[in-house]
Structure 1
Amino acid sequence: MTVMSQGHGANDQRAQLEALYAAMAPKGLLPLWESLHALVLAEPQSPAKPWRWSYDEVRDHLMRAGDIISAEQAERRVLILENPGLGGLSAITPSLYAGLQLILPGEVAPCHRHSQNALRFVMEGSGAFTALDGEKAVMQPFDLVLTPAGQWHDHGNQTDQPMIWLDGLDIPTVRLFDASFAERLDVAAHPETVPAGDTLTRYGHNMRPLRGSLADRRPSARPLFHYRYADWRPALDAMASSAEIDPHFGHALEFLNPADGGPILSTISAHVRLLPAGFETRTRQATDGTVFVLVEGEATLELGDQEIRLGARDMVVIPSWVPYRFQAHSQTILFGYSDKASQMKLDLYRECNH
Structure 2
Amino acid sequence: MTNDLQDARRALYEDMRALHLSPLWESLHTLVPRQPAPDYEAALWRYEDILPHLKRSGEVISAEEAVRRVLVLENPRMPGSASITTSLYAGLQLILPGEIAPAHRHTQSALRFIVQGKGAYTAVDGERTMMHPGDFILTPSWTWHDHGNPGIDGVSEPVVWLDGLDIPLTRFFNGGFAENGDSAVQPIARPEGRSLAAYGYNMAPVRQLHQRSSSPIFNYPYERSREALETLRRQQEIDAWVGVKLRYVNPLNGGAPMPTIGACMQLLPAGFRGLPHRSTDGTVYSVVEGHGVATIGGRRFDFAPRDTFVVPSWSTLALDAAEDVVLFSFSDRPVMQAIGLLREELLPQ
Measured against the shorter chain, the TM-score band is over 0.9
What amino acid sits opposite 1:225 in the alignment?
F
8 A Cα contact 1:220 1:259, kept in partner: no
Q: Which moved more, 1:14-23 or 1:134-143?
A: 14-23
| Equivalent runs, 1:273-292 vs 2, <5 Å | 273-292=266-285
1:4 corresponding residue in structure 2: none
Cα offset for 1:217? Answer: 6.6
Alignment pair present for 1:132 and 2:128: no
1:227 corresponding residue in structure 2: 220
TM-score with structure 1 length normalisation?
0.94
Alignment pair present for 1:241 and 2:234: yes
Cα offset for 1:303? Answer: 1.4
| CA distance 1:304–1:221, shift in 2 (3 Å) | closer
8 A Cα contact 2:71 2:92, kept in partner: yes
8 A Cα contact 2:126 2:186, kept in partner: yes
Deviations 1:296-342 (A, max 9, x none): 11101111221111111111101111111011010111111111111
Alignment pair present for 1:349 and 2:342: yes
What amino acid sits opposite 2:204 in the alignment?
R
Aligned equivalents of 2:52, 2:279: Cα separation in 1: 33
Aligned equivalents of 1:182, 1:144: Cα separation in 2: 23
Q: 2:307 aligns with which of 298, 308, 314?
A: 314
5+ long unaligned stretches in structure 2: none
8 A Cα contact 1:132 1:154, kept in partner: yes
Structure with higher Rg: it is 1
What amino acid sits opposite 1:179 in the alignment?
G
CA RMSD, Structure 1 to Structure 2 (Å): 1.1
Aligned equivalents of 2:64, 2:329: Cα separation in 1: 29
| Equivalent runs, 1:18-37 vs 2, <5 Å | 18-37=10-29
Deviations 1:26-68 (A, max 9, x none): 2221111111111001001112111110111111101100000
Q: Percent identity?
A: 45
What amino acid sits opposite 1:232 in the alignment?
S
8 A Cα contact 1:221 1:259, kept in partner: no
Aligned equivalents of 2:217, 2:16: Cα separation in 1: 53
Q: 2:243 aligns with which of 233, 240, 250?
A: 250
1:172 corresponding residue in structure 2: 168
Deviating beyond 6 angstroms after TM superposition, the runs of 4 or more aligned structure 1 residues are none
Q: 1:100 aligns with which of 92, 108, 112?
A: 92
Alignment pair present for 1:117 and 2:109: yes
Cα offset for 1:219? Answer: 3.2
8 A Cα contact 2:213 2:258, kept in partner: no
Deviations 1:101-153 (A, max 9, x none): 01111111111111111100000111311100121011111100000101111
2:328 corresponding residue in structure 1: 335
What amino acid sits opposite 1:173 in the alignment?
L
5+ long unaligned stretches in structure 1: 1-6
1:191 corresponding residue in structure 2: 187
Cα offset for 1:259? Answer: 1.4
8 A Cα contact 1:138 1:197, kept in partner: no
Instruction: Tell me how many residue pairs correspond in the alignment.
Output: 342
Aligned equivalents of 2:119, 2:64: Cα separation in 1: 20
Q: Which moved more, 1:200-209 or 1:94-103?
A: 200-209
1:72 corresponding residue in structure 2: 64
Secondary structure of 1:285 counterpart = strand
Aligned equivalents of 1:12, 1:174: Cα separation in 2: 47
| CA distance 1:162–1:218, shift in 2 (3 Å) | farther
Q: 2:158 aligns with which of 159, 162, 165?
A: 162
Aligned equivalents of 1:249, 1:279: Cα separation in 2: 9
Q: 1:144 aligns with which of 130, 136, 144?
A: 136
1:86 corresponding residue in structure 2: 78
8 A Cα contact 2:112 2:136, kept in partner: yes
8 A Cα contact 2:285 2:327, kept in partner: yes
What amino acid sits opposite 1:149 in the alignment?
S
What amino acid sits opposite 2:292 in the alignment?
A
Cα offset for 1:186? Answer: 1.4
8 A Cα contact 1:301 1:309, kept in partner: yes
